[in-house]
Homo-oligomer: A and B are copies of this chain.
Amino acid sequence: MQDLQIPERLLLGPGPSNVHERVLHALKQPVIGHLDPVFLSLLDDVQEMLKQLFRTHSGLTLPISGTGSAGMEACLVNLIEPGDTALVAVQGVFGERMVSIVERAGGRSLRVEAEMGKAVPEDRFIEAIRAHQPDLVALVHAETSTGVAQPVREIAHAAREAGALVVLDCVTSLSGMDVSFDSWAIDAAYSGTQKCLSCPPGLSPIALGPRALERIERRAKPVQSWYLDLSLIGRYFGEERVYHHTAPVNMIYALHTALQIVLEEGLEARFARHRSVHQHLVEGLGKLGFQMLVQPAYRLPMLNAVIPPFEDEARVRRSLLTRYGIEVGPGLGKLAGRIWRVGLMGENARMEVVDRFLDALRELV
């Protein structure tokens, strides 16, 4: 039997993104035990580095042993008890997913919706918070299905003023644009490893502030999920190191290295790089007749929703993949067949990556 050989791809979809050689080197290190002192020290580092990425001093940070959606579910089901009201911003697929999780947890969901390709206006959102006085407010910072950046700070402060907990989805934004957990007044946030962190998919870094931890502490009923019960998981990530489940050891190695790479570059430099490379893509695609779905003020730098100037978008995407080894993302949900989602995340937010993509497109269309 031959060793597995996977072809190189340039991953310009909504994630996963390409990862640095050092991350793959970390991934292939020998397996050690999840209670080995060497491993526990790596976990300490990971938790500390995540604090820097989320920009929190007071919060508990840890990687959930599942993908970004597991992080979403962990944050929501731990903070909601049956009968609680959650006000959820719905601007696309991931807002809808939050609504579904709230309802499965026995919560009552209220929606504040945006038009497709737009953010929820802050004034309307804040009005809804004041009108409904929900127990929890949930919103997606970077909606990967539409390429929209949702303003957060004013909304989160209004929610805290109204006594609601704030859950923020940073799956696509973390380390590609500013996420300021403490100063924005966020109570729980989750991300994914396979976007701007440029680490393989499989882990969901989360942050929990003191109000979230206190809410978990005073739950009347145990969390519906044993696997995602943060009061149990927190004991493994705390001083006691109480066994909960076997940590995904090699994925933690990879995350450790990916976080080091982010911090070596520096957050502000990384954000600036994402912005300038995004600008380069917008200009290049404009010359090829592509239109942007989202207005400039609300465009995500790392996830570009673009409208191709030709009919058979699926055929061109296939040719990009098979002839050039370049993956771009199709539209999701209502936008299927209408847009492409072009990701420039982490390692892929590079001028030369954009040029390679534009060159391929010029040859194809």
Contacts and interface: CB of A to CB of B under 8 A. Distances in A.
A247 B201 contact: yes
Interface stretch (A67-75, A120-128, A308-316): A67-75
A227 B72 CA distance: 9
Interface in A221-272: 222-228, 243-251, 253-254, 256-257, 260, 264
B30 A27 contact: no
Q: Which residue among A30, A31, A192, A245 has the maximum number of chain B CB atoms within 10 Å of its CB?
A: A31
A8 interface: yes
A67 B257 CA distance: 22
Tell me if A's interface is mostly helix, strand, loop or mixed.
loop
Q: Which residue among A13, A24, A27, A260 has the maximum number of chain B CB atoms within 10 Å of its CB?
A: A27
State the oligomeric state as a number of copies: 2
A365 interface: no
A64 to B, nearest CB: 9
A22 interface: yes
A33 to B, nearest CB: 5
Given A4-B257, A66-B227, A104-B222, 13 more contacts: A4-B26, A7-B30, A9-B31, A15-B246, A25-B28, A28-B28, A32-B327, A65-B66, A68-B246, A192-B246, A194-B246, A201-B248, A243-B332
A22 B3 contact: yes
Given A246-B201, A248-B202, A327-B33, A7 B223 contact: no
Nearest to A37: B321
- Interface size classification for chain A: 35 or more
Contacts of A70: 65-66, 227, 245
Given A7-B32, A16-B246, A22-B3, A104 B327 contact: no
A243 B247 CA distance: 25
A62 interface: no
